[in-house]
A = this chain, B = another copy of it.
């Protein structure tokens, strides 16, 4: 009987800060994308590849969320992209207040599209809005085609699904039609982008979707 109200307080406090983040981003004409995935699905590789594809069209920035370490932020910084690392020190998801603090450290006037790389976790991040304009789930071929079945809330909650590592399809058992059908069962609208960050295949369609997204967010702002 004690737990429920406490959790509700945390969530609504998070939502208040998420709204503040959203207002700040809109005032700076920045579109933020909350990237969610299992550990090792390739979120950081996707960010790096996408920022390269968008070079000259959109200026990217990154907030890296990890339980520990700064290896991802170092990779992003080495590519010359503005980045802030959040270490949650054990917590299993990003919260809006962490993102708010990170936004203060970023050169917002140099960013059109902000990737927020959430903690590698298909469950807990779904509950916590960060102020983002879109949510994207990154799944990957080696994880198996049954993931939408097993993590339905994550697939239902997003505006797009990226299916990464399609270059590994010849070497593993993965039924792409079954995966697509399961995604549609959870989410009638979200476009599905099969990509390989190793070969670059499929990245153009995904990059075009982001360009459209940024345009739509700016029209709305």
Contact = CB atoms under 8 A, between A and B. Distances in A.
A26 interface: no
Given A38-B39, A142-B40, A165-B142, A67 B123 contact: yes
A151 interface: yes
Contact of A147 (B40, B91, B151, B152): B40
A181 interface: no
A153 B69 contact: no
Interface in A142-166: 142-144, 146-147, 149-153, 165
Interface string A59-91: 000000011110110000000000000000011
A78 to B, nearest CB: 15
Contact of A123 (B119, B144, B146, B153): B119
Interface string A97-114: 000000000000000000
A121 B122 CA distance: 7
Interface in A125-157: 140, 142-144, 146-147, 149-153
A215 interface: no
Given A69-B150, A71-B146, A168-B168, 16 more contacts: A2-B2, A3-B10, A38-B38, A40-B143, A67-B153, A69-B149, A72-B150, A91-B123, A92-B121, A92-B123, A92-B124, A121-B122, A140-B142, A142-B165, A167-B171, A168-B171
12 contacts: A2-B6, A40-B147, A67-B153, A68-B150, A69-B149, A72-B150, A92-B124, A120-B151, A121-B122, A123-B124, A168-B171, A168-B172
